[in-house]
Chains A and B, each alone.
Chain A
Amino acid sequence: MSTASKFELPQGTLDLLILRVVALRPIHGHAIAQHQMISKEALQIQQGSLYPALYRLENKNFLVAEWGPTETGCEAKFYRLTAKGRTQLKTETESWGA
């Protein structure tokens, strides 16, 4: 079982989606998933593929994470874009012609 077959989306697409969402504001994983559902994007992100993708992006230094309080007062891990991530997002968007 390889990692690739588990994801619905090709890795590149998923990464791009996540970067776009995180670009708006620092956000935790749950909120990313919610954003996808609420915005009724045609592409759904499976729960199981979200977090591995987040870790992968963090590993590549596109995202950086830190713990902080949510509105409800719980502690959650917030992700935000790094400069490198911003550059990557721009390059990817341009290559998609979007």
Chain B
Amino acid sequence: MNWFQRLSKTGRMEKELDGELRFHFETQVADKINAGLTEAEARRATRLEFGGLEQIKEDCRESRGTLWLVSIVQDLRFGARILAKSPGFSLTAILVLALGIGVCTLAFSLYNIAALQYLPVRDPATVVRIQRRSPGNINPGVPYASIAYYRDNAKSLSAVMATMRASPLVLNQDEQRVSSTFVSSNYFSELGGSAATGRLFDAARDDSASAAVCVLSFRLWQRKFDGDPSIVGKAIRLGGKPTMVIGVASETFASLGTDNPDLWLPLLQHSYFVEGSKPLTDPHFGGLIGMWGRLAPGVSRSSAEQELLSLTNQLRKIFPAIIWDHEYIVITPGAHFLSFEGGPPVLALVGLLVFLILAIACANLGGLLMARGAGRQREIQLRFDLGARKLRVFRQLLTENLLLGLLGSIAALPLSYGVLRLVLVYSNAPSWMSALPNWRVLLFTTAMGFVAALVFGLLPTLQMVRRKKNRSLWHQMVVCAQVGASCVLLILAGLLVRATLHTLYSDPGFGYEQVLSIDPGMSGHGFASAQAQAYLDQLQNRLRAVPGVTFVSTARVPPLVNTIVMITSIDVDGRRIMIYPNWVGPEFFQTMRIPLLRGHYFHNGEKNAVILSESLARKRWSSEDPIGKQWEKSNDVVVGVVGNTRAMELNNTDATEIYYPLTADDFPAMSVLVRAAGDPNTLTPTIKAIAGGIDTGLYPTITPLTAGFRKNVSQVEQMATIISLLGSIAIFLAVVGLFGLVSYAVSQRTKEIAIRLALGANRAEIFSAVLRRFAWPVLLGLVAGVAITAGLSQILRRGLYGISGLDPISYMGAMAILLAILAAAGLLPVRRAFQLDIARILHFE
């Protein structure tokens, strides 16, 4: 019979075995009776000859080759009974596991959604991102002329798409701008997108269209137009330009990349929306257009790269100006939300923290199991005495642990699902992202359950089977590991919480609370330099006349609310120093309340002057006076040193800034800064009226700097909240585990405690005697925890606003909490022991 037949006929085979042996037995008895013995004697003699019937049966089963599957099922059933017998322990264990595994599952689910899962587009495996590289350039965008050439000539690509993100545009008269992306007309059709209402871009109709059109996102449609289908066919104003809405994308449409715009515009109509732009021919735009494509059937990425490389070389002859030297093409999978090329170290850190939680959970459980192991010692011993093999008992115990691990995994799934849903909703994730676990997540969770079971179960099981009496060393090591891991988590949580508080209440170096920024967006409307200067002068004069306004100035990069980041660098003694440059108008420093430390502010019309921030001056000329010195290899002379603002990077105490006076080129890109005497928001309506009144073609946005500050800070707040949550979970786990271990230790020594009490020892002495053996593991754990955190904090330094990675308050606080937990974990079981009946204890043992 094959194994399947044997599996299904097990019951019958047992009956047959029983029948066969019984027949033999009875026949033998009958023979003996015939030979002259009485029935009783005959039975007794036969029984002696036979030996143990059960033993024979067991041997027969083994000879037949017991099915591996049957004995596993046996083990599982027995394991389930054992768990049901002590529900308190089992539930605690499952909860602990669910927390540990749940956290890991959550992290993996996020990673899965972001990087492993395909976007819900048509045929995602063939969608690719196409970037150009060269040894000297890192900008991955591709000039439109190249894109068109590749599209027309590449045989390895069945389709080519282009996307370009736009700066936020003003929708009708709203204050809040909408995000938009310019896309090629085949974007929606290639990705298989469908329309919720109206239609989407269509190459045949939109490429040669004369009127401007747009497609709304489902989100924007609901939010701004209340899901009213009559918006289709109506015109809206984007940046003042009338645009017809031709349709709305479906709710589950997924954009390529991390794009999630409010609406889409045709790429070929870019110059309509941004006057004076020439995206199709201007090589300057090459850096902003992203190229995507679909591989032709059967074509691999590398062969496509080869073909594009040869096309690039041909292209160099036609348009030499736009092709770099040694340019080559890199093709990567395009249908994922994020692509981790090289992966940021933050990922590794989060992964580490998450596994730390699981490790603590396993250590907990291991400790609890060892505590319980003592209680089951008799049962194990009995099994060995009855003739069980070591391997069999070991397998049985391991199966129990695996069952526990599996139950923990099952309990972890709803936990992580719930939290994931919250995360997705809270972070306004695109609607195609779902919290439901897919096969990868399920597989991961089950695997984690097994791994956890092996990790926490191995040591206690080995101990139980080997019957070693000296268990205390393992206990101490587990306590040490637990204390260490909890210590790390608590200190990290403390550091991050402190950093958040520090950010919110510390002074970033300049007075931002009362400043508003006005961005007229002149560069988007094709303003020339002289025109822009005239506008700015007019605006500033009118603003100065408003009561409540103390200072007005201009800056190319308005602090905290800037939409672009400019950065440059210099080399000093072989070290590279990054610097944030800014071009500012007169009275900028007074408007921003940046203190002057040396020299003077820019005079009106001053040229060839620079002002350094204090940290930059210190780094460049540490001991000399920088005033009057030449700046790098330019004609500029240092005329002043001002305080640091760290406006571009609030969390970096090393950030440096350099300020230049305005030049003619800067005017179209300037923002106006207004300082109010009181609350700046009261001036907003007046300012809006003035700003809109000078030029009706412009739609300036007004943003208080506090809003920008909030946004910068909120990211850290979120991280801190998450870390605090993880820390709380760690505390809970630590309490559970330490409690179990210590109560076991105490229970082992109940007899000793009873004797000491009877002999008159006071409680404090007994307390210290019982727990003294845990002193060195706890100490070692604390030291290890502090050391590890000190090391980790150096990596985290950039995330810690203004406080040191060795901040003593956090360290002390964490250790105090941990010691308090340990004291409680130790006190309660000992107190319980004191209350036991001494006579009974002594009698029992």
Chain A residues close to B by CB (< 8 Å): 1, 3, 6, 28-30, 33-34, 46-48, 51-53, 55-56, 58-59, 67, 72, 74-77
Contacts and interface: CB of A to CB of B under 8 A. Distances in A.
Contacts of A3: 59, 62-63
21 contacts: A3-B62, A3-B63, A6-B59, A28-B20, A29-B24, A30-B28, A34-B31, A46-B51, A48-B55, A48-B59, A51-B21, A51-B59, A52-B60, A55-B60, A55-B63, A58-B64, A59-B64, A74-B23, A74-B27, A76-B20, A77-B16
Contacts of A67: 16
A22 B19 CA distance: 20
B65 interface: yes
B402 to A, nearest CB: 27
A76 B63 contact: no
A51 B61 CA distance: 10
Interface in B37-59: 49-52, 55-56, 59
B56 A30 contact: no
A46 B50 CA distance: 8
Given A3-B62, A59-B65, A77-B16, A33 B24 contact: yes
B389 interface: yes
A46 to B, nearest CB: 8
Contacts of B387: 1
Chain A, interface SS category: helix
Nearest to A49: B59
Contacts of A77: 16, 19-20, 23
Contacts of A33: 24
Given A1-B387, A52-B63, A56-B64, 15 more contacts: A3-B63, A29-B23, A30-B27, A30-B28, A33-B24, A47-B49, A48-B51, A48-B55, A48-B59, A51-B21, A51-B24, A52-B62, A59-B64, A72-B27, A74-B27
Interface string B61-81: 011110000000000000000
Contacts of A55: 60, 63-64
A47 B23 contact: no
Nearest to A48: B51
B49 A30 contact: no
A7 to B, nearest CB: 10
Contact of A75 (B19, B49, B63, B64): B19
B59 A59 contact: no
B63 A56 contact: yes
Nearest to A76: B23
A1 B52 CA distance: 15
Contacts of A52: 56, 59-60, 62-63
B361 to A, nearest CB: 39
A48 B46 CA distance: 12
B101 to A, nearest CB: 39
A75 B50 CA distance: 20
A51 B23 contact: no
Contacts of B51: 46-48
A28 B23 contact: yes
A92 B239 CA distance: 99
Contacts of A53: 63
Contacts of B27: 30, 72, 74
For the complex of A and B, 8 pairs with smallest distance between CB atoms: A52-B59, A56-B63, A52-B63, A55-B63, A30-B24, A48-B51, A30-B27, A77-B20
Interface in B1-40: 16, 19-21, 23-24, 26-28, 31
B49 A51 contact: no
Nearest to B52: A48
A30 B65 contact: no
Given A48-B50, A55-B63, A59-B65, A29 B20 contact: yes
Contacts of A29: 20, 23-24
A58 to B, nearest CB: 8
A48 B56 contact: yes
A48 B25 CA distance: 12
A4 to B, nearest CB: 12
A10 to B, nearest CB: 15
A77 B16 CA distance: 8
B60 A1 contact: no
Nearest to A6: B59
A47 B64 contact: no
A3 B23 CA distance: 24
Nearest to B64: A55
Contacts of B49: 47
A1 B388 CA distance: 9
A30 B23 contact: yes
A75 B24 contact: no
Nearest to B21: A51
B386 to A, nearest CB: 11
Contacts of A1: 387, 389
B394 to A, nearest CB: 16
Given A48-B56, A52-B56, A59 B63 contact: yes
Of A29, A55, A72, A77, chain B has the most CB atoms within 10 Å of the CB of A55
B21 to A, nearest CB: 7
A47 B53 CA distance: 10
B31 to A, nearest CB: 8
A46 B59 CA distance: 13
A4 B208 CA distance: 90
Nearest to A2: B389
B62 A75 contact: no
Of A1, A29, A51, chain B has the most CB atoms within 10 Å of the CB of A51
A3 B60 CA distance: 11
A52 B64 CA distance: 8
A29 B65 CA distance: 20
A61 B19 CA distance: 21
B63 A47 contact: no
A56 B16 CA distance: 16
A1 B387 CA distance: 7
Contacts of B63: 3, 52-53, 55-56, 59
A77 B24 CA distance: 10
A97 to B, nearest CB: 28
A32 B221 CA distance: 90
Of B21, B23, B26, chain A has the most CB atoms within 10 Å of the CB of B23
B767 to A, nearest CB: 48
Contacts of B64: 55-56, 58-59
Contacts of A47: 24, 49-51, 56
A55 B92 CA distance: 46
Contacts of A75: 19, 23
Contacts of B28: 30
Contacts of A56: 63-64
Of A28, A47, A74, A77, chain B has the most CB atoms within 10 Å of the CB of A47
Of B56, B62, B63, chain A has the most CB atoms within 10 Å of the CB of B63
Contacts of B60: 51-52, 55
Nearest to B24: A30
A33 B60 CA distance: 16
Of A1, A29, A52, chain B has the most CB atoms within 10 Å of the CB of A52
A30 B32 CA distance: 13
Contacts of B21: 51
B13 to A, nearest CB: 10
A51 B65 contact: no
A89 B342 CA distance: 68
A76 B28 CA distance: 13
A59 B62 CA distance: 11
Nearest to A77: B20
Contacts of A34: 31
Contacts of B16: 67, 77
Contacts of A59: 63-65
A92 B63 CA distance: 21
B673 to A, nearest CB: 89
A34 B19 CA distance: 19
Contacts of B19: 75, 77
A52 B387 CA distance: 17
B715 to A, nearest CB: 65
A3 B64 CA distance: 13
B710 to A, nearest CB: 74
